[in-house]
Amino acid sequence: MKVQEKAKQKTPPQSAVLEYEQQVKYMKITVEEMQSRLEKMTVTKGLKTWAYILHDLDTDGKGGLKAPHYHVIMIFDKRKDINSIAKQFDDEPERVIVRTKDPKTGKRQSIKTASDNALAYLCHETSGAKAEGKTRLSPRKS
């Protein structure tokens, strides 16, 4: 008798605070489509707050500029898995970051702390971004 073992499927990471990051040249949708999909997610996915910004002044540490890239912060009413959110951007789960986990320590953060830090990072207003000398950006509404 053959015994078949089911391959254990790892549950994708989940969080109520997620970030999508992608270089402009690799984005599979336009910025207008991205905004439209974010607005739709407020109805279909429980997206409460969202913001995005183009980082086109980041330096690479060698005096050159990094490739222009977008950061999109999303705060949901409950945890969402990174796979389902990546699909909203027609992209891979590797492009979605769980923000309720501190990137340096791996420790869990509250939704409020994660939200505050993620939104502040968009404009490089976190203590880490300031310490790294990142160009501070002005928030603006489009």
pLDDT tens digits along 51-98: 999 998 888 888 899 999 999 999 999 999 999 999 999 999 999 999
Confidence (pLDDT) at 6: 47
Rounded to an integer, the average pLDDT of 30-51 is 97
Distance CA 17, CA 14 (A): 9
Q: Per-residue pLDDT averaged across 102-124, rounded?
A: 87
Q: What is the pLDDT of residue 61?
A: 80
**What per-residue confidence (pLDDT) applies to 17?**
97
The per-residue pLDDT for 123 is 80
DSSP state of 12: P
Rounded Cα distance between 138 and 112, Å, is 22
Lowest mean per-residue pLDDT among 65-69, 94-98, 108-112, 118-122: 118-122
Residues near 110 by beta carbon (within 8 Å), at least 6 away in sequence = 100
pLDDT number for residue 127? 62
Given a contact cutoff of 8 angstroms between Cβ atoms, the answer to whether 74 and 20 are in contact is: yes
**pLDDT-above-70 percentage for the chain:** 81
Write down the mean pLDDT value for the chain: 87
Which band of pLDDT confidence, cut at 50, 70 and 90, is reported for residue 122?
A: confident
Query: What pLDDT is recorded for position 5?
Result: 47
Record the pTM: 0.84
